[in-house]
Structure 1
Amino acid sequence: MSQQAALPPEGVPAGSASVRAQLLATEHWSLLASRSTTQGEVLTRISIFLTLTSASLLSIALVGQASTFSDTFRVFAVVILGVLCVIGVLTNVRVVNVGHEDLMYVLAMNRLRAAYLALDPGIEPYLMASSHDDQAGSQHTYFWLGRRSDFSHVVGSSMIFISAVCAALIGLFVAALGGLFGAPPWLLYVLGFGVGLGYLALSSWIGGRRYYALWHDYEPVSPSPSAG
């Protein structure tokens, strides 16, 4: 049975099947390397952003104590928080983009597994990841030990994590800006929480909208049986 499974598809010479397997493996390794490089780059960006945030908030606290929270301190805090917000939003955009790039690599490798199965159907029981390059196939590849809640997957993602950090910084920035212009404390709380939560909701909505928009124009080569 194993010898029969190892035979190339009908009409494909054995030598040609061997060359195809080598080409597919080369492409697979290329995708793995690109995915690893992309993940390493975004993790470095996140680490730099969080380190900068920690150092900046500490400097704000130290300057506040040294200046007895004078008007000069308020200007300093607004400038530092404004810079952090810009860097944070740029980091958030990159994290969302990398999430879609990672999906791109997963779909490409799923498609390659379908090609492996075309060359040797007997290896199918040994593939844990999916060989279907559609939405269901990508979800199976991301987590193949049963069904995982979409809510926990999204809430625990790097996108939501960075969005939450950015939301807190933007809320602090808006509150600090309002304090600089003499707004009452209750208004500062409303502005800070309102704008922060608004950014978190907007960022999450944009990320989800882009994710679902990908599937409208995408056409899989080897869709899942249920999708067919």
Structure 2
Amino acid sequence: MKSSASPPVPSAAPELRAQVLGAEHWSLLATKSAIWQEIFSRTGTFLAIVSATVVALSLVVQATGFGPNFRVIALLVLPLVLLLGLATCARLMEADIEDAWMVIGMNRLRHAYVDLVPGIEPYLVTGYHDDEAGLLQTYSFRRRIGATHLFAGSPVIVGIVNAVIGGVLAVIIGQALGVSTWVQVATGIVVASAVAALLVSVFVRRLRRFRREFVPRFPHAAESERPTSGAESER
């Protein structure tokens, strides 16, 4: 009597494995594209709101000067813009972490491609290891990222704008309270620095959490321990 169970799929089916890996690769690319679209959209929306706020406050200054009316409007608008900026910056940080996971996934898939087709390593520009070095190679085609690359990121730009808005808001509050000019300037610098430090600390904690949760499966150190495949094992 024959068994009704379906026959197992042969483990040595490179065509099927390549097809499955390719489908997963395209899925990760689509998700990565959606993440980058969200990053650009959120950054552009926030900067557009900041620009509109600056223009609106400029019109108020032209109409009423830097008087009580300007301070009232600024104290109503700027906290909302700062809150939106902080939320935008937090989401951009999360989006960068999500994008890093997508890159790690694609590096693992490329590692599988290398196993399927030995000898294609010299033709790969991006990394095929899922450790930190492979991640940086895929991001910047080298194993280190310079300071200019970090400062050009959307979270850093939005964070700087948030710090400036926080400082300006502190100065306006100081004007409303009638404190001296040097106290207003000092308070604005302190608040701007505090906002920047807060955002940096949030990013550092999120990055540390990412590093704790991430365990490489195909690091560079294990390259020499890879089992030989196919034609290599027959030599």
Kindly tell me the number of residue pairs found equivalent between the two proteins. 215
Instruction: Please give the root-mean-square deviation of Cα atoms over the aligned residues, in Å.
Output: 1.8
1:214 is aligned with what amino acid?
A: F
Counterparts of 2:124 and 2:162, CA distance in 1: 39
Percent identity of paired positions between Structure 1 and Structure 2: 34
* Matching of residue 192 in structure 1 with residue 184 in structure 2: no
Q: Greater CA radius of gyration, 1 or 2?
A: 2
User: Which amino acid letter does the alignment assign opposite residue 110 of structure 1?
Assistant: N
User: What do residues 111-166 of structure 1 show as CA deviations (whole Å, max 9, x unaligned)?
Assistant: 1111111111122111111111111110111112x454443332222221111011
Whether contact under 8 Å (1:135, 1:215) holds in the other structure is no
Deviations 1:70-92 (A, max 9, x none): 21221101111111101111111
Mean Cα displacement is larger for which, 102-111 or 172-181? 172-181
Displacement of 1:51 in angstroms is 0.8
What letter corresponds to residue 66 of structure 2 in structure 1? F
Match of 1:3 in 2: none
Q: What residue is the counterpart of 1:178 in the other structure?
A: 174
Instruction: Tell me how far 1:170 sits from its aligned partner.
Output: 0.9
TM, length-normalised to structure 1 = 0.88
What does residue 137 of structure 2 align with?
A: 140
- Classify the secondary structure of the residue corresponding to 1:131: coil
Q: Which runs of 5+ in 2 are unaligned?
A: 1-9, 225-235
Question: Which amino acid is the alignment partner of residue 131 of structure 1?
Answer: Y
Partner of 2:7: none
User: Could you say which residue in structure 2 is the equivalent of 1:203?
Assistant: 199
Structure with more contact order per residue of length (Cα contacts < 8 Å, sep ≥ 6): 1
Q: Distance in 2 between matches of 1:78 and 1:49?
A: 18
Distance 1:217 1:38 in 2: 21
User: Do the aligned partners of residues 175 and 227 (structure 1) sit closer, same or farther apart at CA in structure 2, a change above 3 Å counting?
Assistant: farther
> Structure 1, unaligned stretches of length 5 or more?
1-10
Asked whether the 8 Å contact 1:171–1:194 carries over to 2, the reply is yes
Report the Cα distance in structure 2 between the residues aligned to 1:27 and 1:75, rounded to whole angstroms.
54
Residues 129 and 140 in structure 1, CA contact (< 8 A), matched pair in contact too = yes
> Residue 105 of structure 2 is aligned with which of 101, 105, 108?
108
How far off its partner does 1:65 sit? 1.9
Matches within 5 A, 1:1-228: 12-13=11-12, 16-144=13-141, 146-225=142-221
State the TM-score, normalizing by the size of structure 2. Answer: 0.86
